[in-house]
C-alpha cells in the first residue's frame, strides 16, 4: 500500500502541469482560515537584481499525502505558471525559473522557495499552495525589485512603438517594461513625463507631477493618467522601462568621438558601450554623476546628474539628461562603457 501511495505521488510530481487562471471571481467568499500553512509575517519580499531571495512558506503540521505547489502569476495575461511541486520527499521543477529555484527546506515543515541570481522578470506575485484533497489552501507573496523606471522612445521620435516593439526596446536597453506598481512608485518619487507609454500589462499611462496645458490641462490633478488597455498591434506609444541594480560598472571615457569610435574605445578597454538602462542603474544605485555627454549603445547621448548644478543643464532635480540622438558622425562626445 505504501509503495502504491509513493508511486502515485511521484506520478503527480512528474506529470506536466496545466496552466490555470489564478483569479477569484468578484463577490466570491474569502478563502477559509489557514489550517496547515502559516500566514507569512510579511506579504512582500524586497530584493535587487542578481541577489538571492527567499519567499517564505512554512507548514504548522504535515497532512498525509500532501503536495506543495509554487506558482507565479504573469502580469501580462494573469495566467499562473507552475514553478515547483514537492511531496516533502521529492520535487520537480518547471518552466524558465527551473535552473534558479530550489526549496530552502531548513526543516521538515519548511517549503519556502529560494530564487538565486534574481532577474528583472522575477518580480511579481507568487503563490504557495498546499494540495491536500478537499483541504487545499494557499498563501500569496509579492517579490519586489528595487529599481528605477525611465521613459524611452526611439531615434525616429515619439509614439513609434506598438506593445511588442516597446517590450523588445526595453529588453535591448537592459530593462523590461515596467509594471503599473513600478510606474506608480516612480511617480510618487517624482517622475513627471508628458508622453504616454506602454507598461507590462498592455495598458498605456503617463505620470504627471506638475499639471500643465500640453499634458491634460492645468485643472486635472497630478497623478498617473491612463489611456487604459490599447490594441497591442495597432496602437503606438512610447515605453516605460524598469531596471534594477547592475552586476558590473559604468564609467566614462573622455574624448571627441563619433558613435563608431565610441564603441571601439569601450572595446579597447575590454568593455562594451553602455545601454540606457545600465546608465540609469549606475545613476540610481552607484550615484554616477558626470557633466559630460556620452554615447550609448542605442545612438543616444546622455549624462547622469546626482548633484544638480548650473553648468550641468541647470535643472533643479537629479536625473539622466539627454541630448537626444545626434548624428552618429559627430566627433563631439565621450562615451559611457559597461564592464
Q: Grid coordinates representing 238?
A: 512610447
| Alpha helices (H) in 158-226, listed in sequence order | 163-172, 180-188
Least confident of 3-7, 80-84, 189-193, 289-293: 3-7
| Alpha helices (H) in 175-245, listed in sequence order | 180-188
Average pLDDT over residues 169-173: 98
Which pLDDT does position 11 carry in this prediction? 36
Average pLDDT over residues 135-161: 95
pLDDT tier for residue 33 given thresholds of 50, 70 and 90:
confident
Which pLDDT does position 3 carry in this prediction? 37
d(CA 303, CA 294): 6
Pick from 96, 74, 67, 79: which is nearest to 20 by CA? 79
Average pLDDT over residues 22-43: 70
Average pLDDT over residues 199-220: 91
The angle formed by the CA atoms of residues 337, 338 and 339, to the nearest 5 degrees, is 125
Q: 305: which strand partners?
A: 319
Average pLDDT over residues 312-321: 91
Edge-to-edge order in the sheet of strand 101-103: 53-55, 113-115, 101-103
Which pLDDT does position 132 carry in this prediction? 86
The answer to whether 9 and 67 are in contact (CB under 8 A) is yes
- What is the average pLDDT value for the chain, to the nearest integer? 89
> Is residue 93 over pLDDT 90?
yes
Average pLDDT over residues 304-321: 92
More reliable by pLDDT, 77 or 21: 77
Domains of the chain: 37-145 (2.60.40.10), 147-244 (3.10.100.10), 245-338 (3.10.100.10)
Decide: helix, strand or coil at residue 14: helix
DSSP E strands in 89-222: the ranges are 91-93, 101-103, 113-115, 124-131, 137-145, 147-152, 176-177, 197-198, 203-208
Which pLDDT does position 75 carry in this prediction? 63
Which pLDDT does position 299 carry in this prediction? 98
Taking only the tens place, the pLDDT of each residue in 228-269 is 999 999 999 999 999 999 989 999 999 999 999 999 999 999
More reliable by pLDDT, 50 or 214: 50
Average pLDDT over residues 10-20: 37
The answer to whether 202 and 163 are in contact (CB under 8 A) is yes
> Is residue 31 over pLDDT 70?
no
Which pLDDT does position 334 carry in this prediction? 98
Give Cβ neighbours of residue 72 (< 8 Å, ≥ 6 apart). 80, 81, 83, 97, 124, 125, 126, 127
> Is residue 22 over pLDDT 60?
no
Which pLDDT does position 76 carry in this prediction? 62
Average pLDDT over residues 131-136: 80
pLDDT tier for residue 217 given thresholds of 50, 70 and 90:
confident
Average pLDDT over residues 204-218: 91
pLDDT tier for residue 74 given thresholds of 50, 70 and 90:
confident
Which pLDDT does position 15 carry in this prediction? 41
The answer to whether 55 and 112 are in contact (CB under 8 A) is yes
Give Cβ neighbours of residue 285 (< 8 Å, ≥ 6 apart). 48, 245, 246
Alpha carbon of residue 153 to chain centroid: 18
Which pLDDT does position 219 carry in this prediction? 85
Which pLDDT does position 8 carry in this prediction? 38
Q: Grid coordinates representing 306?
A: 546626482
Which pLDDT does position 12 carry in this prediction? 36
> Is residue 18 over pLDDT 90?
no
Least confident of 24-38, 222-236, 293-307: 24-38
> Is residue 38 over pLDDT 80?
yes
Element (H, E) at 235: none
Amino acid at each position: 500500500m505504501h509503495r502504491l501511495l509513493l508511486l502515485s505521488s511521484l506520478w503527480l510530481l512528474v506529470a506536466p502541469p496545466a496552466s490555470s487562471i489564478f483569479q477569484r471571481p468578484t463577490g466570491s467568499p474569502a478563502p477559509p482560515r489557514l489550517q496547515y500553512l502559516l500566514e507569512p509575517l510579511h506579504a512582500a519580499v524586497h530584493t535587487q537584481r542578481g541577489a538571492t531571495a527567499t519567499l517564505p512558506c512554512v507548514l504548522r503540521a504535515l497532512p498525509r499525502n500532501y503536495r506543495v505547489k509554487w506558482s507565479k502569476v504573469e502580469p501580462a495575461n494573469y495566467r499562473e505558471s507552475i514553478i515547483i511541486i514537492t511531496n516533502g520527499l521529492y520535487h520537480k521543477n518547471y518552466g524558465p525559473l527551473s535552473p534558479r529555484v530550489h526549496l530552502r527546506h531548513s526543516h521538515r515543515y519548511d517549503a519556502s522557495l529560494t530564487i538565486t541570481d534574481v532577474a528583472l522578470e522575477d518580480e511579481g506575485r507568487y503563490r504557495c499552495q498546499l494540495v491536500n484533497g478537499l483541504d487545499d489552501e494557499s498563501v500569496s507573496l509579492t517579490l519586489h525589485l528595487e529599481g528605477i523606471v525611465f521613459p524611452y522612445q526611439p531615434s525616429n521620435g515619439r509614439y513609434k512603438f506598438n506593445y511588442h516593439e516597446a517590450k523588445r526596446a526595453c529588453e535591448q536597453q537592459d530593462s523590461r517594461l515596467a509594471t503599473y506598481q513600478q510606474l506608480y512608485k516612480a511617480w510618487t518619487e517624482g517622475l513627471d513625463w508628458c508622453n504616454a507609454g506602454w507598461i507590462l500589462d498592455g495598458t498605456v499611462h503617463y505620470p504627471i507631477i506638475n499639471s500643465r496645458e500640453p499634458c491634460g490641462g492645468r485643472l486635472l490633478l497630478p497623478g498617473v493618467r491612463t489611456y487604459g488597455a490599447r490594441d497591442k498591434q495597432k496602437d503606438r506609444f512610447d515605453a516605460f522601462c524598469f531596471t534594477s541594480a547592475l552586476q558590473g560598472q559604468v564609467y566614462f571615457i573622455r574624448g571627441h568621438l563619433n558613435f563608431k569610435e565610441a564603441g571601439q574605445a569601450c572595446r579597447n578597454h575590454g568593455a562594451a558601450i553602455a545601454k540606457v538602462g545600465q546608465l540609469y542603474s549606475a545613476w540610481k544605485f552607484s550615484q554616477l554623476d558626470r557633466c559630460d555627454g556620452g554615447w550609448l549603445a542605442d545612438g543616444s547621448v546622455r549624462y547622469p546628474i546626482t548633484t544638480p548644478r548650473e553648468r550641468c543643464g541647470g535643472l533643479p532635480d537629479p536625473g539622466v539628461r539627454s541630448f537626444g540622438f545626434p548624428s552618429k558622425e559627430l566627433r563631439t562626445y565621450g562615451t559611457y562603457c559597461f564592464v
